[in-house]
Amino acid sequence: MNNEYRPYTLIAELTYRCPLRCPYCSNPIDYARHGAEIDTDTWLRVFHEAEALGVVQLSLTGGEPLLRNDLEQFIEKASKVELYTNLITSGIPLTFERLSRLQALGLNSVQLSIQSTRPSESDRIAGAPSFHRKLEAMQWVKSLELPLTMNVVLHRDNIGEIPELIALAERVSADRLELANVQYLGWALQNRSALLPTREQLERARTIAEHARGRLQGKMEVVFVTPDYYSVYPKSCMDGWGRRFIVVNPEGFALPCHLAHTIPGLHFENVRQCHLEEIWHHSSSFNQFRGDGWLPDPCRTCDRRTKDFGGCRCQAFHVTGNAGATDPACFLSPDHGRIESARSQASHLSGVPVMFEYRTGRGFSQA
Amino acid sequence: MTGDIARPQLSLKVRLRFDRRTGRYLLLYPETGLELSRTATEIARLCTGEWTVDEIAQHLAQFHTEISPVEISRDVLDFLKTLAGRGLLQGLQ
């Protein structure tokens, strides 16, 4: 088969459980209502099937993947089938011994998130005391000579700290610094007024990051991800729906992105019952937004349709109510006004404190 | 960018792996990768820290008599610059 639709990366969301409560968590808002996690053997089979399907990169994420006590088995298996294995973690709970063991079993890289360079602020945003342990975990990663990505999710409360964040990344000798602005879906959409920066904040941060990128080239890669709300055109979300990525969520549903199952009307298959290859090629939901037959106006005739594939389907749904609409982040979208009004709200709220709604298992039975 | 690298060596984070689907090699690093051409694969395999940039070019020239040595040297340097720019060579500060 050709490589037009080939998953290079499997994002394995091992669990929705997490010791942190970040208000922009990428897990679905109703995560606590989801079913039981798939077992060890099912994951091992999924890794095998993924590799056979063309996957070469594995991201072990969550929630907090360290909470799975079979993580060792996963990494050992992934290494056996030659997947490049990345652990995406908060660093909690971790010990140096466990990290060494994971490395010995074949772990290739670690991405660790911090919320701020100021310990109390980092802990406030994470909703749990965590900063010092994260810093220690980053030092362990480097002392084992594992590649380290320091990830910071940016929003209006920490975007002014870019110089300090870059300095911290240099101090811990991160190989890569990911300065990724919040994208407003799920928990982040819920918290949008507490998170969305102003255009001035964003531009200042971008300029500083650009400068650091040049200065550090070849030594530390600096990645700055703009929020869709301030980009002219939409991003090519997941490099196109069902094109390069496959996500398997904690309960075993195979998805084109982390939040695809929040779009009503799509049916997703579960790896408990289905082979990954069958899902990839034949799932009605994976096929729903592939190619350009489904594209709405103005995407249909736009030159950029092969670049951004119409943007993010979840954003289209959560902002316009129609998952098949042009991503409203695009300035050509008829719904772009909704994004503009969120931006002007951000500028009105500048300097005004807005409380976070922390990630909680609300909706979970109260018993 | 590669001037200070006498004997290029791939960074520890890099894995080369054969891709059964395309018959090419992939150069994998955290969360992403590059699909290599045949020439790029040959160059990457010589980035062991033992060979100088010139020796790598000379080695390739033996097998690619259809391409001029000047062109080969340029290709080698271009590819090494790509790797260096992405932080995929060791010892570059």
Instruction: For residue A264, give every residue at least 6 positions away whose Cβ sits within 8 Å of its Cβ, in sequence order, or none.
Output: none
Structure tokens at A184: 């407003």
Confidence of residue B92 (pLDDT cuts 50, 70, 90): low
Q: Which DSSP category does B17 fall into?
A: E
**Interchain pair A8, B84: CB under 8 A:** no
Give the per-residue pLDDT at B90: 86
Per CATH, the homologous superfamily of domain B9-86 is: Coenzyme PQQ synthesis protein D (PqqD) (1.10.10.1150)
Best of B11, B29, B82 to substitute, by most chain A Cβ atoms within 10 angstroms, is B29
Residue A89 CB coordination number (10 Å)? 27
Best of A89, A108, A110 to substitute, by most chain B Cβ atoms within 10 angstroms, is A108
> Chain B contacts of A277, Cβ < 8 Å?
none
**Higher local confidence (pLDDT), A361 or A69:** A69
Structure tokens at A348: 């009105």
Q: Which of B11, B17, B92 sits opposite A82 (nearest CB)?
A: B17
**Interchain pair A147, B30: CB under 8 A:** yes
- Check pLDDT > 70 for residue A366: no
Chain B, nearest residue to A214 by Cα: B85
Chain B, nearest residue to A59 by Cα: B31
**Higher local confidence (pLDDT), B92 or A140:** A140
Best of B12, B17, B31, B92 to substitute, by most chain A Cβ atoms within 10 angstroms, is B31
> Chain A contacts of B17, Cβ < 8 Å?
56, 82, 84
> Chain A contacts of B15, Cβ < 8 Å?
84, 108
> Chain A contacts of B22, Cβ < 8 Å?
3
Structure tokens at A241: 């729906």
Best of A57, A80, A177, A225 to substitute, by most chain B Cβ atoms within 10 angstroms, is A57
Confidence of residue A253 (pLDDT cuts 50, 70, 90): very high
Chain A, nearest residue to B21 by Cα: A54
Amino acid identity at B18: F
Confidence of residue A363 (pLDDT cuts 50, 70, 90): very low
**Interchain pair A108, B30: CB under 8 A:** yes
Give the per-residue pLDDT at A32: 85
Give the per-residue pLDDT at A367: 33
pLDDT 10s digits, A125-148: 999 999 999 999 999 999 999 999
Beta bridge partners of A143: none
Cα–Cα distance between B16 and B8 in angstroms, integer? 15
> Chain A contacts of B89, Cβ < 8 Å?
218
**Interchain pair A84, B84: CB under 8 A:** no
Q: Which of A3, A86, A217 sits opposite B85 (nearest CB)?
A: A217
pLDDT 10s digits, B23-73: 999 999 999 999 999 999 999 999 999 999 999 999 999 989 899 999 999
Give the per-residue pLDDT at B61: 93
Cα–Cα distance between B61 and A36 in angstroms, integer? 59
Q: Which DSSP category does A10 fall into?
A: E
- Check pLDDT > 50 for residue B93: no
Q: Which of A84, A175, A219 sits opposite B15 (nearest CB)?
A: A84
- Check pLDDT > 60 for residue A91: yes
- Check pLDDT > 50 for residue A246: yes
Give B68→chain A minimum CA distance, Å. Answer: 29
Give A332→chain B minimum CA distance, Å. Answer: 31
- Check pLDDT > 90 for residue A278: yes
What is this structure's pTM? Answer: 0.95
Instruction: Give the position of tokens 């089979």.
Output: A45
Give the per-residue pLDDT at A362: 58
- Check pLDDT > 90 for residue A361: no
Whether the CB-CB separation of A42 and A275 falls below 8 Å is answered with no
Mean pLDDT of chain A: 95
Confidence of residue A3 (pLDDT cuts 50, 70, 90): confident
**Interchain pair B30, A149: CB under 8 A:** yes
- CA–CA–CA angle A339, A343, A349 (5° rounding): 140
**Interchain pair A82, B32: CB under 8 A:** no
> Chain B contacts of A8, Cβ < 8 Å?
33
Whether the CB-CB separation of A65 and A87 falls below 8 Å is answered with yes
Chain A, nearest residue to B19 by Cα: A54
**Interchain pair B13, A220: CB under 8 A:** no
Alpha helices in A81-226 (DSSP H): 96-104, 119-126, 131-143, 162-171, 186-190, 192-195, 199-215
Whether the CB-CB separation of B39 and B60 falls below 8 Å is answered with yes
Chain A, nearest residue to B84 by Cα: A218
**Interchain pair B86, A8: CB under 8 A:** no
Confidence of residue A79 (pLDDT cuts 50, 70, 90): very high
> Chain B contacts of A109, Cβ < 8 Å?
13, 29-31
Percent of chain A with pLDDT over 90: 94
From the number of C-beta atoms within 10 Å of its C-beta (0-12, 13-18, 19+), residue B3 rates as exposed
- Check pLDDT > 50 for residue A338: yes
Cα–Cα distance between A327 and A312 in angstroms, integer? 6
